[in-house]
Amino acid sequence: MTDLLPVTALGDSAPRSETFGPLSLSENAGLALASLALRRGQAAPAPFGLALPDVARAVTSGALGAFWTGRGQWMIEAGGKAESDFAAALEAEAPGCSVTEQTDGFVAFEVVSEAGAARLEALMSKLVNIDPKTLGPGCCTRTGLEHMTVFLVRRSETRLAVIGMRSLAGSLWHALSQAARRLEN
Amino acid sequence: MTFSGFKVIKEALTGYKGWGPLWRNPVPKPSYDIVIIGGGGHGLATAYYLAKRYGQANVAVLEKGWIGSGNAGRNTTIIRSNYLLPGNQPFYELSMKLWETLEQDTNFNSMVSQRGIINLIHSDGQRDAYRRRGNSMMISGAGARLLGRDELRQMVPFLNFDNARFPIKGGLMQERAGTARHDGVVWGYARGADRRGVDIIQNCEVTGFRIENGAVQGVETTRGFIGAGKVGVSVAGSSGRVMGYAGRRLPIESHALQAFVSEGLKPVIPGVITFGAGHFYVSQSDKGGLVFGGDIDGYNSYAQRGGLPVIEDVLEGGMALMPMIGRARLLRAWGGLVDMSMDGSPIIDRTDIAGLYFNGAWNYGGFKATPAAGLTFAHLLATDTPHETATAFRFDRFNRGYVIDEKGVGAQPNLH
Amino acid sequence: MLIPHPLLGLRDAQEFTYLGDASLLNRPDPATPGAEAAFCDYVFLRDNPAGVHRELWFHEQGDRSWLVVTRNTLTHEILSAELASDVKAGAAQ
């Protein structure tokens, strides 16, 4: 039988990571994603004990997290669970809600600054038309980045997750790494 | 005053003292047989053909600003007849034939230049579509030639043939297509109409219609009431606004369309080239500027200006197609208003108000249609029957189900 | 152009796609007499004012909400933006 080798969204055998001065960019290949949407009139559940956040906010609890994607809609994340059937686990936690597997549709890149929030916000201002002041820690939004749609989740002052379409992973990495490299010079 | 080579030389040697105004500046009469609203290319061409071919000289053209100050002065001057559908193609081919004899007909140099148009092919499916379109063009007599990649590379070697995402595989060429000098077209028709007795009345904005018992009696204007036996509305871009004075909703939205010109460069682009994988087209003016454009801005507008996102989009298309354009500097960018219709095709028809006629919904393509729109609208105004090449351009084609949708996107004007 | 999204604040108009005249929210009832003519008007005719215009925008690169935006087509000034679902719910009451 043919040997099948798992590859990441960027086509590599291991997640890619690169450093640009104080900014580092890494592929978070282990991140599992599943979307959760309420049916009409349904109350919000608390899957895995997560209090589902309000508009444009994100919450975390250990390796688990949730961020708002629309009215009555959230994306639930679980670090290191990409290999598991995370949607099924979520569905058990949110009976009656609409849950859809999303891991294979997206790629997640984590940007970390070793030089404080300013450097991270400088990168954002190069790439997206979102005022960094409105995207502080615990905030999230969806916007366009070089014509690609991305979720931005500000995990902390110095850490930003950029979650984009998996089929455009190469283009997204190119956009992020080019901008980071230019900041370095 | 007739133009001739002899006259040009004589004037050059005698200090140009013999040139007079090309048209009068008359005071509006109380009434006319026919009043045309809109002194653009279409309105003036309509008046010209009414006077010349249909013996109707008691005609006024009313213009809000100065003639040719709207879309006639804002387009990218391309003339072509490379359409697909039976409702469209014979009409545009009539227009092409009129372009070919325009300068002799009007005795005016409109700088018609048949330098050809090439629609680029980037995929096998697109080649099939263009082959079909080429056949449709040949049936109407427009002529068409399918170009292979090697032949095309010889003609336009500067294109990005080996672009990884949009490789250029060939092109569909109409050799008779080309460009014309937009102002020269307006002035030629204006002069020709004026010489045959048509009153061209500028700075005269129509502010309403006088309609009695379902029949139009004339128009209210900033220069007073002007009576009319028939009124022809020819104001594409502002059709919604003007027909709104008559209380009519139209299958039209007004949108802003931008155009661009670079600094003057040495001759490099032989004709008109259109990108087949994005919305970008380019030609080179006689002054050397690259004239190019792309998509409409996409939301209703009467502002005659557009926004930066579309400028970025157009220039990205340009860079993908011909990277050398990145070395040219942009000289000017401007916007005009276009009537975007529900099927992307025009309307030349009577309205439900007796004596009120409509010519509009020209989408991206009003300039190339100028001679035929003028002739067929004149035919309709003079004879009350549609011209044989314009029978499909009716208001009722939408509820009858006979839309002429070249692009096939349905009743979504900003996608045509 | 920046659109004041009711939930998300000022957002770049590039994140949105445009549908047009907000009267498209008022779909005719197919069961009423004259529905065919009403549907023709609904599908093909538009208000196209030079001035204040109510229109539908979709926040495609955002929260995927439909907005009813009130905008001046002569100046491009945006006067207000509401969630279309709220407008629809308000009209139904």
If one counts the domains in chain C, the total is: 1
Which whole number is the average pLDDT over B33-54? 98
Q: Which two tokens stand for residue B200?
A: 């061209």
DSSP lists the bridge partners of residue B28 as none
**A residues 29..68 contacting C (CB < 8 A):** 55-56
Tally of helices (H runs) and strands (E runs) in chain A:
3, 11
> What is the per-residue pLDDT for A5?
87
* N- to C-terminal Cα separation, chain C: 33
Q: Do B298 and C18 touch (CB under 8 A)?
A: yes
Tokens, residue C46: 């538009």
Q: Does domain A17-184 have CATH number 1.20.1250.20?
A: no
Neighbouring subunits of A (3+ Cβ pairs under 8 A): C
In sequence order, the β-bridge partners of residue A167 are: none
User: Which residue of chain C has the CA closest to A148?
Assistant: C61
DSSP-assigned beta bridge partners for residue A165: A106
Contact between residue B416 and residue B343 where contact means Cβ atoms under 8 Å apart: yes
Helix (H/G/I), strand (E/B), else coil: A86: helix
Closest residue to B342, CB basis, from C44, C49, C57: C44
- Residue B35 and residue B229: Cα distance in Å, rounded? 8
**Which of B244, B301, B309 is opposite residue C14, by nearest beta carbon?**
B309
The vertex-B118 CA angle with B175 and B77, nearest 5°, equals: 80
Q: Which residues have CB under 8 Å from B275's CB, separation 6+?
A: B120, B166, B281, B317, B320, B321
- Asked which of A2-11, A24-33, B78-87 is least confident by mean pLDDT, the reply is A2-11
Phi/psi of residue B325, nearest 5 degrees:
-65, -20
- How much helix, strand and coil, in percent to the nearest 5, is found in chain A? 25, 35, 35
* Mean pLDDT within A178-183: 97
The confidence band for B196, taking pLDDT boundaries of 50, 70 and 90, is very high
Nearest to B64 by CA among B222, B232, B236, B204: B204
Q: How far is CA B158 from the centre of its chain?
A: 29
H-helix or E-strand spanning residue A76:
strand A73-78
Q: Which residues of C touch A142 (CB under 8 A)?
A: 61-63
What does residue B282 show for φ and ψ, rounded to 5 degrees? -150, 145
Say which CATH number the domain at C52 has.
3.30.2270.10
Q: For residue A62, which phi and psi values (nearest 5 degrees)?
A: 65, -130
pLDDT at residue C73 above 80?
Answer: yes
* Partner-chain contact A129 C7, CB within 8 Å: no
Select from C14, C36, C73 the residue whose CB has the most chain B CBs within 10 Å, as the one to mutate to test that interface: C73
Residue range B72-83: mean pLDDT, rounded: 96
Q: What is the DSSP string of B174-194?
A: ETT-EE--HHHHHHHHHHHHH
Taking only the tens place, the pLDDT of each residue in C15-37 is: 999 999 999 999 999 999 999 99
* Chain A residues closer than 8 Å to C7 by CB: 55-56, 71
Q: Is residue B278 exposed (0-12), middle (13-18) or buried (19+ Cβ within 10 Å)?
A: middle
Q: Is B167 exposed, middle or buried (0-12, 13-18, 19+ CB in 10 A)?
A: middle
In B169-288, where do the E strands start and end? 170-174, 178-179, 199-201, 206-212, 215-221, 224-233, 252-264, 272-274, 281-284
Token couple for B293: 């454009």
Residue C93 in this model has a pLDDT that exceeds 70: no
Cα B332 to Cα B244, B258, B264, B335: the distances in Å are 33, 10, 11, 10
For residue A9, give the 3-state DSSP assignment.
coil
Could you say which DSSP state residue B143 is in? -
Determine, for residues C64 and A144 on separate chains, whether the beta-carbon distance falls below 8 Å: no
| A125/C contact by beta carbon, under 8 A | no
Does residue B335 belong to the interface with chain C, where contact is any CB pair within 8 Å? no
Taking contacts as CB-CB distances below 8 angstroms, the residues of chain C near A141 are: 8, 62
Question: Percentage of chain A with pLDDT > 90?
Answer: 96
CATH for B117-176+253-341 (3.30.9.10, 3.40.50.720, 3.40.50.2000, 3.40.190.290): 3.30.9.10
pLDDT band at B2 (very low <50, low <70, confident <90, very high): confident
Nearest to C53 by CA among C25, C30, C28, C76: C76
Q: Is B1 a residue whose pLDDT tops 90?
A: no
| pLDDT tens per residue, range B89-144 | 999 999 999 999 999 999 999 999 999 999 999 999 999 999 999 999 999 999 99
Task: Return the domain boundaries, chain A.
Answer: 17-184
- pLDDT given at position A2: 82
Check residues A6 and B293 and name the one with the higher pLDDT. Answer: B293
Amino acid (1-letter code) at residue B404: I
The predicted model gives A108-116 an average pLDDT of 97
State the Cα–Cα distance between residues B394 and B360, nearest whole angstrom.
Answer: 11
pLDDT recorded at residue B235: 97
- Max distance between CA atoms of chain C, in angstroms, equals 44
- At C91 the pLDDT is 78
- Does residue A1 surpass a pLDDT of 80? no
Q: Is the pLDDT of residue A42 over 80?
A: yes
Residues 6+ apart with CB under 8 A from B309: B297, C13, C14
Domain limits, CATH 3.50.50.60, in chain B: 29-81+83-108+182-252+343-415
B356's CB contacts (< 8 A; 6+ apart) are B209, B211, B216, B230, B231, B233, B246, B350
Interface confidence: ipTM more than 0.90: yes
Query: Residue C92: is its pLDDT beyond 80?
Result: no
Report the residue of chain C nearest A145, measured CA to CA: C61
The C-alpha atoms of residue C74 and residue C70 are separated, in whole angstroms, by: 12
- Chain C CB within 8 Å of residue B399 CB: yes
Query: For residue C63, what is the nearest residue in chain A, using CA coordinates?
Result: A70
Give the pLDDT band of residue B374 (cuts 50, 70, 90).
very high
Q: What is the pLDDT of residue B348?
A: 98
CA atoms of B234 and B57, how far apart (whole Å): 18
Is A149 within 8 Å of chain C by CB?
Answer: yes
pLDDT exceeding 90 applies to what percent of chain B? 98
Are A142 and C14 within 8 A, CB to CB?
A: no
CATH top class, domain B29-81+83-108+182-252+343-415: alpha beta
Among C46, C70, C71, C74, the strongest candidate for a mutation testing the B interface, having the largest count of B CBs within 10 A, is C46
Comparing CA positions, the residue from B172, B165, B127 lying closest to residue B274 is B172
Percent of chain B's residues with pLDDT above 70: 100
Q: Are B75 and B366 within 8 A, CB to CB? A: yes
Residue spans in chain B of domains classed CATH 3.30.9.10: 117-176+253-341
Q: Looking at chain C, which subunits does it touch, using at least 3 CB pairs closer than 8 Å as the criterion? A: A, B
Q: Which domain holds residue C40?
A: 2-25+34-92
**Cβ–Cβ below 8 Å for B253 and C20:** yes
pLDDT in tens, C58-71: 999 999 999 999 99
Confidence band of B172 (pLDDT split at 50, 70, 90): very high
